[in-house]
Amino acid sequence: GYANILMDTASGAVTVDGNPVNLRPKEAKILELLLREQGRTVSRDLLIERVWGTDFDGDERMIDRHIASLRKALGTASQHIRAVYGKGYRLGGST
């Protein structure tokens, strides 16, 4: 977990401040990757490889849309997900 975000990687259950959060499968995979790499920037390439694999259609805006919906689902905890311009996304760490 990170701050008030907890994820049970075995079941995929996510809570924020103890309240369950419903994520779509790709959103959950993104969050899991960000949690594992917390404090480090996760590149778009790594997100594509781990979350979409060969199903990726080449539209990088798809990543942004999934991050946006993940942030919406996390509510106030979404402040911990930071965009790193030209590189990717990071959970926590300094700006």
State how far the alpha carbon of 45 is from the alpha carbons of 11, 12, 39, 74, in Å.
26, 23, 18, 23
> Which pLDDT value is given to residue 32?
96
Q: Which CATH architecture has domain 5-90?
A: Orthogonal Bundle (1.10)
> Which pLDDT value is given to residue 49?
94
Q: What pTM does this model have?
A: 0.92
Q: Where are the domains of the chain?
A: 5-90
Instruction: Per-residue pLDDT tens, the chain, 95 aa: give them.
Output: 898 999 998 888 999 999 999 999 999 999 999 999 999 999 999 999 999 998 887 787 889 999 999 999 999 999 999 999 999 999 997 64
